[in-house]
């Protein structure tokens, strides 16, 4: 699959299909981007499980932190990667092992080889995007910030 751009239907399918997200590189510091994304996704009803070896055993936003994906006892639908591109292949291996359905790499993170490997194993892949921004873009909230959402519709949006 090409990864320069994604259709709204593809992203909607992913965001509507997953419930539990493992966030690799989640930070315990409230002013870090990963904290922003985790808090927002929790507010939208997702369960977000933080993965961060430095903060192992602590809690972020009420969720226990694990050192890696393999340690998480629960089923994972999606792995959201807040790490540099070099760290991606190892995380993708674990995501496949863990039975995740989606690998999502954050803004600025892209690894085409690892993406191809995940796709070959049947996972869906998104790169260089933020699930918080895409969720809010598709559901109207991003437009509140004066952003070009690309959404054109004369349907009344559900509250």
Partner 1 sequence: MAEKPPAPGFETLAIHAGAAPDPVTGARSTPIYQTTAYVFDDVDHAASLFNLQTYGYIYSRLTNPTVSVLEERVATLEGGRGAIAVASGHAAQLLAFFSFMEPGDQFIASNKLYGGSITQFGRSFKKFGWDCVFVDADDPENFRRAITPRCKAIFVESLSNPTGVIVDLERIAGVAHEAGLLFIVDNTMASPFICRPMRWGADLVVHSTTKFLSGHGNAMGGVVVDSGRFDWAQNDKFKALTEPEPAYHGLRFYETFGDLALTVHGHAVGLRDLGATMAPLNAFLTITGIETLPLRMERHVANAQAVAEHLERHPAVSWVAYAGLPSSKYHALARKYLPKGAGSVFTFGVKGGYDAGVALVEAVELFSHLANVGDTRSLIIHPASTTHRQLTTEQQIASGAGPDVVRLSIGLESIADIIGDLDQGLAKAMRS
Give residues in contact with partner 1 (CB under 8 A): 1, 5-7, 9-10, 30-31, 33, 35-36, 39-40, 43, 107-108, 130, 133, 136, 140-159
Instruction: Tell me how many degrees the CA angle 102-64-139 measures, rounded to the nearest 5.
Output: 45
Pick between residue 29 and residue 73 the one whose CB is nearest to partner 1: 29
Token readout for 124 is 């869906």
Pick between residue 73 and residue 156 the one whose CB is nearest to partner 1: 156
Residue where the block lists tokens 């959404």? 151
8 Å CB contact between 122 and 145:
no
Quick one: how far is CA 82 from the chain centroid? 8
Instruction: State the nearest-atom distance from the C-beta of 74 to partner 1, in Å.
Output: 25
Instruction: State the nearest-atom distance from the C-beta of 147 to partner 1, in Å.
Output: 4
Instruction: State the nearest-atom distance from the C-beta of 8 to partner 1, in Å.
Output: 8
Positive or negative: CA dihedral 122, 139, 60, 55: positive
Instruction: State the nearest-atom distance from the C-beta of 122 to partner 1, in Å.
Output: 14
* Alpha-carbon gap, residue 92 to 29, rounded angstroms: 25
Pick between residue 57 and residue 144 the one whose CB is nearest to partner 1: 144
């Amino acid at each position: 699959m090409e990864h320069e751009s994604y259709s709204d239907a593809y992203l909607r399918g992913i965001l509507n299909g997953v419930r539990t997200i493992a966030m690799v590189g989640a930070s315990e510091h409230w002013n870090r981007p990963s904290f922003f994304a985790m808090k927002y996704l929790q507010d939208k009803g997702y369960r977000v499980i933080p993965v961060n070896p430095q903060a192992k055993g602590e809690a972020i936003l009420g969720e226990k932190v694990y050192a890696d994906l393999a340690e998480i006892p629960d089923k994972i639908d999606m792995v959201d990667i807040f790490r540099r591109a070099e760290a991606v292949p190892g995380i993708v291996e674990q995501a496949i092992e863990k039975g995740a359905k989606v690998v999502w790499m954050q803004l600025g993170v892209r690894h085409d080889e690892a993406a191809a490997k995940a796709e070959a194993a049947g996972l869906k892949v998104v790169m260089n995007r933020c699930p918080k921004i895409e969720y809010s873009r598709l559901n109207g909230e991003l437009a509140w910030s004066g952003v070009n959402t690309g959404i054109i519709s004369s349907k009344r949006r559900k509250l």
